[in-house]
Structure 1
Amino acid sequence: MATALAAALTGTGLTLAVAPAAHAAASDHVAKLPFTTFSALAVDNVHQRVFLADARVGSSSNNGQIAVYTFAGERISTITTAYHVSGLALSADANTLYVGERTRILSYDTTTLAAKSGPTAPTDNCGREVVVVGGKPYYTSQYTDNLTQCATATSYVDDITNGYWQRTGWNDSGKLLLEGGPNDTFLMGQALNASASNPFISVFDGSGATPVRHATRRFADAGGAGALNLKDAAVSPDGTKVALADATAGTRLLNTDDLSDAAEGYPPLPEGAAASSVAFSGDGKYIARGASATGSTPDLLVQPADPGDATAPLEFVFEGSQDGDRVAPRGMEWSADGSRLFAVTTNAAGNQFWLHIIQPPAVQYDVRLGETFTHSPAQAVAGEPLSVRGRLEYDGPAPAEPMKVRATRTDANGTHDLGTFTVRADGAYTVLDEPDLVGDATYTVSYLGDLTHRPATDVTHTVSVGKAASSISLTAPEEASMRTGVHITGTFSAQGRALPERAVLKVERTDRQGTGTLSSVTVGADGTFTIDDIPRTRRETTYKVSWPGDELHQGSSASAEVYVTR
């Protein structure tokens, strides 16, 4: 697989690309799932196991499978059920795995994987969501005669109380997503469908006998634009933020208390990537944003959960027959300590699935930007190339790919982004610019950091930018007569930025009768000009040609002496 601007991770076709720094190390173990469908993922942090369920919804003749993996990606068991399964959730103590089967809610001992007794539940043909809140499982139930009706069929939210299922009273059209949060709360989100053109997201308190809805929100404006296209949801470990994977709008970050937009959100996903999954790490440090993208466009970004942290994300491109092509909806969960991200990918056809176990770097190292700069040329000139050279030092392992710094120039017209510049292996870098104003130009160099290296303290370097030089050269005869006149040719040039108009040159003649101004001459497009004059007296006559300069260019002049005869 091509690895332009990326580092290929050992043993897989996974490409790890980063912006702006391409050297953050991350290990990635990949397991091919024994499924042609996928419905749910649950992570048991106590026993370090990962449970994944297929879907195979629709027919009562379809059995189900739950594949069980270690945190290292080794499959240790496969649980087979009589009917299709969908939706997985763990009890708070991780001793019980709840599984949404077609006609009941199954439960398994997570140590022995032995089945426990499970109550019957309303028949589900479309696939359940399962979440454990307040010590009991909540789950969705959807019954249809045909799978084509699942998109709009009514979904009911049920629970298990005292060993029996009961309706909570909450229901709506289409798929309903359930996602657990801290303090006995959970999210309920509605999928966009023909019967729900303006879907909702709501926060529920599940601590009591029946769930109580708190904040709720719909997103479409009066014209119907901006509706939620929900693929996944996550609650931050401290319960203050909700992140939504919106296939249309990208990653939405909301305040949990009222579901208003957070003061600062995450940058957009790469162009061409549609959000499919989202997950906060258990320690609250990171957020993973999964997407559906093609080609070299990243399918997964792992970055600081704090949107105000400018540290560059790790960007993963899933592309190939051994890795899948995109992150599956609802396909990501973290370990509780944030040391591992479990991500399910699928191919373009959606009939093959892979489990990626990604370990972002646990240690960040310091980076220092030296405060000693040089620049060339020594006298910077407006409109001409300028090189500003500096040096970067870093702790920790050598990067696999070159690091990059970002630079800006601040002058009388404000601050201008100059882009990123590659750091050489010896730590040296060169910022290239072409200042366009006379006066002080202050260059600020930043290193934003990545998941391996911390951001560095910005450094600055001020350069005094002067006017560009101009020059005039003259070619004149040594001798001429008053009868035939004087013919002078010349060339004018100005360095730096091109003149907005052709230069107009002042011409003066000095002879025995004094100094006078002749008609001005305009420089041609090729920089040449001519002067023709009939002298008024004999002997030495001096012709001086000058240009006063402008805001960006110095003035210049040249003189030629001609001996005039009768």
Structure 2
Amino acid sequence: MNIAHRPGRLAATALAVALAGTGLSVAVAPVASAAASDVVAKLPISSYSAMAVDSVHQRVYVADRHVGSTYYTGTVVVYSFAGDRVSTISTDHYVSGLALSPDSSTLYVGERTALQEFSTTTYQPVAAVAIGADYCGRDLVSSSGRVYMTSPVALSASGCDTARTELDDVADGAYARTGWNDYGLLKLAAGPGDRMLMGQPRNADATDPYLAVFDTSGSTLVRGAERRFAASDGTGALNLKDMAFSVDGGKVAVADASYGTRLLNTSDLSDASVGYPALPAGAVSSAVAYSGDGKYLARGAAATGSTPDLLLSPADPSDATPPLEFVFEGSLDGDRVAPRGLEWTADGSRLFAVTTNATGNQYWLHVIQPPAAQYATRFSESLTHSPSQAVAGEPLALHGTLAYDGPTPTEPLKVSATRTDANGTHDLGTATVASDGTFTVLDEPDLVGDATYTVSFLGDLTHLPAKDVATTLTVAKAPTSITLTAPAEASQATGVQITGTFTAQGKALAQPATLSVERTDKLGSGALTSVTVAADGTFTIKDLPRERKDVTYTVSWPGDDLHEGSSASATVYVTK
């Protein structure tokens, strides 16, 4: 058995961001982190059909889809809530849908030619109802004491996407057609209050597919709200991957691979007045599921690299608490959340996520326990900094404190920081909060003038966001200096030679400094040939004085956008 336990798993591998011109670095980490645990089991299946969660017996059922041939057998693997595999249910034909009875005593398994019923305590078959055969796979839900299922009518797997699909039901051991049907592999989702959703995936025979709500309280299905999504020019059509009722039944969340996460009013399927934030750039929506306690919405996606594949957000879309993010990348996790691969326990204490690799032939089961409470956080009133004077091109450290209520986090909290100057706002990455609440943000300002540093803690599922703390500093030009070494006395015959050193702090000069040289004697002042500073900062001035007695040489540099100017003088007594 392949099970990995990873408490406190965070969203992404931290990336080091080097500060230009210094040896300093800060770590870039996920926007949100939390004390969630993630247990991972490698599933012994090569395709995925459905998942059902039995909160009464604490079991998770995952079905291998494996459609395409009448000779294929079926597999349903059974896991505990701890991620341990406890049993395997085998069927004569491939399994293409799962559902549980309201009391969780019976697991309904959709086979190619039958609806099988299994005991959820012995995992043995207890009944079977013959139904119409299919090559494509079914969807199953249990609602109002009936089992509703889709029955695609296709002669081979190649015709599944555009197959005419019937909506059937089974009640008291009797199978019947409801009369509802359409093209494509129709999807079903049950909800509270005798409601059921039916959604049509986009296909060649359904370029503007629909979503519909049904009343399942009677012996006849009654369709309520229905909606298609394409605009008059054909754009915006639904690309359905998953759908879920909110716990109170008043809203419907839809995973739309083209749009993202849609939030609709159940009554008429209109857009809710407040929706959920967009998924991260590059993430394609694949699954949605509300927690049984009504606190969270889980949103699954297909994404690459460090882009999150799973976000756990507050179910209330007006709650701006940042989501807990998970990245699945590699042979230990899978690469993305499988379509319809999310289910919660009835009490919301666990989320089960099925992930798959990019080619869709390996699968993993994740058991995720989000934190149960959120605690207040707050910054100290102000930020301090060192050194006391911020200088362009030199390291700057900002120090602060984040206080938090509740237990000590199992993973260090992280704050994010930005610098805003005349060139805009710059992301400084994140800094880790120490066990005493202190943190240090490192920067190297590259522009002279006012710079406002803002530090944020965006919160997570354990901690509420803190009010930002900010400070405005005046970034000064870096100082420069010139030192001269000159003889006390020289002659007109041999000339004067002066050596010197030019030093510039802060950011290195783009080009070697060119210094101006001025000579002052009893005839007045005049410019001599300028000198270029060598790579080691040294330079040499040679001159044949035109007059005797005191001659003063002044060397100067005017400065640039990031550096102050400087000058130095030396007086030499000149003889004949």
Asked if TM exceeds 0.5, the reply is: yes
Q: Is 2:493 the counterpart of 1:459?
A: no
Which residue is equivalent to 1:334?
A: 344
Cα 1:541/1:221, change in 2 over 3 Å: farther
CA distance in 2, matches of 1:482, 1:318: 78
Q: Residues 438, 55 of structure 1: CA spacing in aligned structure 2 closer, same or farther, 3 A cutoff?
A: closer
Cα distance, 1:356 vs structure 2:
3.6
The yes-or-no answer on 1:244 pairing with 2:255 is: yes
Aligned to 1:166: 177
Contact 1:219 1:228 in 2 (8 A): no
**CA distance in 1 between partners of 2:168 and 2:135 (Å):** 15
| Contact residue 217 and residue 259 of structure 1 kept, 8 A | no
Tell me the SS of whatever aligns to 2:470: strand
- The alpha-carbon deviation at position 560 of structure 1 amounts to 0.6
Matched AA of 2:176: W
Residues 14, 421 of structure 1: alpha-carbon distance in 2 compared, 3 angstrom cutoff: closer
Amino acid corresponding to residue 526 of structure 2 in structure 1 = T
- Determine the C-alpha separation between the residues in 2 that align with 1:376 and 1:251: 45
Alignment partner for residue 144 of structure 1, among 154, 168, 171? Answer: 154
Partner letter of residue 217 of structure 1? F
Contact 2:40-2:366 within 8 A present in 1 as well: yes
> Which one of 150, 155, 178 corresponds to residue 165 of structure 2?
155
Match of 2:21 in 1: none
Q: Against the structure 1 CA distance between its residues 356 and 562, is the aligned structure 2 distance closer, same or farther, given a 3 Å change threshold?
A: closer
User: In structure 1, what is the equivalent of residue 223 of structure 2?
Assistant: 211
Identity rate of aligned residues, in percent? 54
2:555 is aligned to 545
Q: Which amino acid aligns with 1:290?
A: G
Q: CA 1:384 to 1:52, structure 2 compared with 1: closer, same or farther past 3 Å?
A: closer
Q: Tell me: CA distance 1:263–1:15, structure 2 relative to 1, closer, same or farther (3 Å).
A: closer
**What CA deviation, in whole Å up to 9, does each residue of 1:148-191 have, x standing for no partner?**
3223322233456895523434301x322222345555444444
Counterpart in the other structure of 2:211 = 202
Could you report, residue by residue, the CA deviation over 1:222-274 in whole angstroms, capped at 9, with x for unpaired residues? 6x8x876543333443543523152xx584334443358965523326x6x66
Partner of residue 277, structure 1: 287
1:371 maps to 381
Give the SS at the match of 2:158.
helix
Residues in 2 aligned to 1:511 and 1:99: alpha-carbon distance in whole angstroms: 106
In 1: Cα distance, 2:289 partner to 2:482 partner: 68
**Which residue number in structure 2 is paired with residue 4 of structure 1?**
none
- C-alpha distance in 2 between matches for 1:25 and 1:311: 14
The range that moved more, 301-310 or 385-394, is 301-310
CA distance in 2, matches of 1:500, 1:71: 62
Q: Map of 1:370-519 to 2, 5 A cutoff?
A: 370-499=380-509, 503=513, 505-513=515-523, 515-519=524-528
Change (3 A) 1:66 1:533: closer
For residue 420 of structure 1, report the CA deviation from its aligned partner: 1.0
TM-score by length of 1: 0.80
| Native 8 Å contact 1:119 1:165 kept in 2 | no
Displacement of 1:89 after TM fit?
3.4
Q: 2: distance between equivalents of 1:324 and 1:415?
A: 36
8 A Cα contact 1:203 1:216, kept in partner: no
Mapped contact 1:205–1:214 kept (Cα < 8 A): no
Alpha-carbon spacing, 1:261–1:229, altered in 2? closer, same or farther (3 Å): farther
* Preserved CA contact (<8 Å) 2:208 2:228: no
**Per-residue deviation, 1:445:** 1.4
Contact 2:190–2:197 (8 Å) recurs in 1: yes
Residue 275 of structure 1 and its aligned partner are, at CA, apart by 4.7
Q: 2:9 aligns with which of 16, 21, 27?
A: 16
The aligned counterpart of 1:126 is: 136
1:374 alignment partner AA: T
Aligned to 1:258: 270
Q: Name the residue aligned to 1:179.
A: 189
- For 1:554 and 1:349, the matched residues in 2 are separated by 59
Instruction: Give the whole-Å Cα distance in 1 for the aligned partners of 2:110 and 2:436.
Output: 57
- What is the correspondence of 1:314-333 to structure 2 with a 5 Å cutoff? 314-315=325-326, 317=328, 319-320=330-331, 327-333=337-343
- Residue 28 (structure 1) shift: 4.5
- Secondary structure in structure 2 of the residue aligned to 1:211: strand
Does the 8 A contact of 2:378 with 2:403 survive in 1? yes
Partner of 2:320: 309
For 1:117-140, what per-residue CA distance to the aligned partner results, in whole angstroms no more than 9, with x for missing partners?
776543322111123456654432
Q: Give me the whole-angstrom Cα distance separating, in 1, the residues matched to 2:132 and 2:273.
A: 37
Contact kept? 2:243, 2:252, Cα under 8 Å: no
> Which of 516, 521, 532 matches 1:523?
532
**Structure 1 pair 220/301, CA: closer, same or farther in 2 (3 Å)?**
farther
Q: Quick one: distance in 1 between partners of 2:68 and 2:411?
A: 49
Distance in 2, matches of 1:288 and 1:314, equals: 10
How many angstroms apart in 1 are the aligned matches of 2:67 and 2:210? Answer: 25
2: distance between equivalents of 1:415 and 1:13?
36
Structure 2 length normalisation: TM-score?
0.78
Q: More displaced, 387-396 or 346-355?
A: 346-355
For 1:211, the aligned partner's letter is R
Q: Is the 8 A contact 1:17 1:298 kept in 2?
A: no
Deviations 1:453-479 (A, max 9, x none): 333332223333222111122233322
Deviation of 1:17 (Å): 2.7
What does the per-residue CA deviation read over 1:337-381, in whole Å, with 9 as the maximum and x for residues that have no partner? 321112234567756655443221213344443335432222211
SS at match of 1:543: strand
Report what 2:296 is aligned to. 286
CA RMSD of aligned residues (A): 4.2
1:310–1:560: structure 2 CA closer, same or farther, 3 Å change rule? farther
Gaps (5+ residues) in structure 1?
A: 1-8
Number of the residue aligned with 1:5: none
Q: CA deviation at 1:406?
A: 0.7
- Contact 1:141/1:155 (8 A) holds in 2: yes
Gaps of 5+ in 2: 13-28
Cα distance change on mapping 1:499 and 1:261 into 2, 3 Å: farther
Tell me the amino acid that sits aligned with residue 141 of structure 2: V
For the 8 Å contact 1:120–1:165, the answer to whether it is kept is: no
SS of equivalent residue, structure 2 residue 253: strand
Mapped partners of 2:365, 2:479: distance in 1: 64
Post-superposition offset of 1:430: 1.8
Q: Which amino acid aligns with 2:222?
A: T
